[in-house]
Amino acid sequence: MKEISAGGVVYRHTEEGKLQIQLIQDRYGKVSLPKGKMEAGETIEQTALREIAEETGLVGMIIAPIDQIKYQYEHDALGKVDKEVHYYLVEAVGGSLQAQIEEIRGVDWFDPLEAWKRQKQSGYDNNHRIVAGALQLLGIQV
């Protein structure tokens, strides 16, 4: 069975013009990115934007694709699942930051290098290249 999810690295510029990167803390206490499963009739891009809105309260606009992560996991009822997660660079254009407490523990904004440090320290290994790719698209080398 194949399962497709999508999400993004969300960024904004403050009123002072400072670039900030959004990170979530997932239900396991790990640094992560908003993402979720594709629903029937959705495009992958629509999935990414819906999941970002649901998990963080923000309305986003896709700027560019970053990359995909592919892995397998064992599901109790379905057996082996091939998982594919598509990530996009997403600019926050509306909404208000609010964690979906049913799914995540928290969400906040960080300076780009602080976001990278937190990702490296307590994020998932397979998200390193996603966050690095987003920063590169934003002109920041890590």
For 68-93, write each residue's pLDDT tens digit.
Answer: 999 999 999 989 999 999 999 999 99
Assess if residue 9 is contained within a domain: yes
Q: Which residue has the tokens 């510029």?
A: 13
For 29-77, write each residue's pLDDT tens digit.
Answer: 999 999 999 999 999 999 999 999 999 999 999 999 999 999 999 999 9
CATH code at position 50: 3.90.79.10
Assess if residue 54 is contained within a domain: yes
How many domains are there within the chain?
1
| Residue 27 belongs to domain spanning | 2-137
| Residue-by-residue DSSP string for 74-91 | EETTTEEEEEEEEEEEEE
The pairing of beta strand 104-110 with beta strand 19-26: antiparallel
Assess if residue 12 is contained within a domain: yes
Assess if residue 131 is contained within a domain: yes
Provide the phi-psi class of 110: left if phi over 0, else alpha when psi is between -120 and 50, else beta: beta
Total residues belonging to the chain? 142
Closest C-alpha to 53, from 2, 103, 3, 112:
103
Assess if residue 32 is contained within a domain: yes
Beta strands in 1-142 (DSSP E): 2-13, 19-26, 31-32, 35-37, 58-75, 79-95, 104-110
Over residues 4-9, the mean pLDDT reads: 98
